Amino acid sequence: MYQSQISGVGKYVPENVVTNHDLTKIMDTTDEWIQERTGIKERRHIKKGDGNTTAVMGYKVAKIALERANIDKDDIDFIVFATLSPDYYFPGCGVQVQDMLDISTCPALDVRNQCSGFVYALSVADQFIKTGMYKNILVIGSENHSGGLDMTTRGRNVSVLFGDGAGLAVLTRCENKNKGVLSTHLHSEGKFVEELSLIGPSTKYWVPEIIKENPQENIPYYPQMNGQLVFKNAVVRFSEVINEGLAHNNLSAKDIDMLIPHQANLRIAQFIQKKFKLSNDQVHNNIQKYGNTTARSIPIALTEAWENNKIKTDDIVVLATFGSGFTWASAIIKW
Ligand code: ACO
């Protein structure tokens, strides 16, 4: 058995900044409401004509991370791409990145686990390295939320939360048994499937049916969320899955050097920070600048923490997430 370790990280965000104040011009909301409930001040949205798509941003961030990891594109054995906002209904974005990077017939897999997508993708990649099948894997999280949000007052409970961009980790085989991804822990609870979902168009809800059956006030092709239910489940599951990961490795909260929580809501992250008695230096949040970016929120926060020298060799880094499905997950990493 081998270990996998993160040999490079990267982030990419579109240039177009959308502040809370900008949103007040197109829907009935306020900067005060958004900051107080979520911590978000601004987010990035793809601008028509800037060339960005979910796959393109995944490609851009792959170039950055490969350079940092000092790995040639042709040494990549596998691409795992996490997103809920792919360029096409099918195929997934992984194959587009394979083509853009010009890696000959490299396998590509898309993971559709929303906010838990990156940790699920990391776990998949980790298993392929641990069994010895692959040496270098790109684990990408990328989202184009702005292309599919209801930017009117009707959709304000969801649309103010989300932003666009991509983050990535290069996972590489390592011989040291005490380094790298120590363990990953994955869960789901499908009875909540529609509590945070986009239900059409889909094979169950095709376009003509949507138009025929739904009055204007009930449009199923925008994301819908039972925010309070999500919030209540998130704080419980975050804590559980972090504790599960720590216990599995005979660690305690005192051993955490850096916690990277999925950036769903600053209040959720602060609740977890308090519960685990962590200082501001032991948790990295950036939802204030980028909003909730779903599958790319963890790799972008991880990249920022690393760029700011907040993560050192041998640090215990904990990734934890919760989202649509419901799904939740953690990863315990020795850097
Ligand atoms: N601006 C102003 N008012 C608003 C807005 C807005 N953008 N959105 C909703 N409101 C109003 C509502 O209409 C409601 O008004 P009412 O009292 O007159 O009916 C009031 O504000 C309160 O609404 P709530 O939904 O009860 O507000 P809450 O305090 O629950 O905060 C929030 C909403 C921020 C969405 C919160 O529930 C939350 O963060 N939930 C968790 C989100 C999350 O973690 N998502 C998971 C990841 S996403 C993924 O996996 C894709």
- 155-165 pLDDT tens trace: 999 999 999 99
pTM of the model: 0.96
* Alpha helical stretches, state H, the chain: 20-24, 31-38, 54-69, 93-101, 117-130, 156-159, 207-213, 227-248, 266-275, 287-290, 297-307
Residue 4's closest CA among 140, 94, 123, 97? 123
Could you tell me what percent of the chain has a pLDDT over 90?
92
| Catalytic entry in 262, 265, 284, 285 | 262
Whole-number Å distance, alpha carbon 262 to ligand 1 midpoint, is: 17
181-334 maps to CATH 3.40.50.300:
no
* All CATH 3.40.47.10 domain ranges in the chain, comma separated: 3-178, 181-334
pLDDT digits 0-9 by tens, 264-284: 999 999 999 999 999 999 999
Closest Cα to atom 26 of ligand 1 = 228
Taking only the tens place, the pLDDT of each residue in 59-101 is 999 999 999 999 999 999 999 999 999 999 999 999 999 999 9
Q: Which residues line ligand 1 (CB under 6 A)?
A: 29, 33-34, 37-38, 114-115, 156-157, 160, 196, 227-228, 230-231, 234, 264-265, 268, 292, 294, 323-324
| Residue 233 designated active-site | no
Architecture of domain 3-178: 3-Layer(aba) Sandwich (3.40)
